[in-house]
Amino acid sequence: MFVHFLVSGVLGMLIGVCRPFNPDNSRLCARIYSVPALRILGLKLEMDAQGLMQHQRSCVIVANHQSNYDLFVLGSLVPERTVTIGKKSLKWVPLFGQIYWLAGNVLINRANAEQAKQAMLMTTETLQHKDTSIWVFAEGTRNLGKGLLPFKKGAFQMAINAGVPIIPLCASNYKNHMHLNRWHSGTVKVRSLPAIPTAGLSLDDMPALIERCRAQMQECIQGMDREIAAADDDANLKARGGVRGQH
């Protein structure tokens, strides 16, 4: 993984230098990091995200955030012309920070209210006029696989101000079920939900919009967790049956 991270970083830097701030750099870099990493880690990814990948116009993608492994789990699902919002301090992380910046992602200084406000205005402009989508982890921090945390308002405010739909993207709770010392270290399910329109909504509608999105994601994540648990139980029963048959 260390070698892969270095090689991916060099390739990502070349992409960023050759076409700096191109909003499609994030998609390319995410795939470079994600696809080989899933094989190295032994993670099996089961995707049902055609609604997201086939969406043809700007949107706000809202995903649940569990760990740094999200880069590998979700990286292959970043659509064309999609950027993310991150802390300004990321810019100074060696290699990765420079790639992140050159990929055209939006960097916000949350400690400076005026700068953060200007960045939010810029994202509205990006959504409305630059044919670019924005990917947001609405919880604002890692949930460590313990269920969804309360959602921050920023993603929903952006979507309402720009009048673009929200597409929820859900990953099953893999954080506590990975076994990285095995050839098959676990299964992760990822599913996109139908777009939630925001056209005609005002900021007064934001609390209900947040609750609707969060409830749908919570139900989806719990459903995928049950599917994985049922598949694991079936596999264990078959394995035990095979052992008994040998005796």
pLDDT tens figures, 95-149: 888 898 898 888 877 666 676 667 777 787 878 878 899 999 988 877 776 778 9
Q: What's the CA gap between 172 and 164, in Å, rounded? A: 26
Annotate 147-182 with three-state secondary structure.
CCCCCCCHHHHHHHHHCCCEEEEEECCCCCCCCCCC
* Higher pLDDT, residue 136 or 56: 136
Structure tokens at 62: 């809202």
Which residue has tokens 């139980």?
Answer: 233
Whether the model clears a pTM of 0.85, i.e. scores above it, the answer is: yes
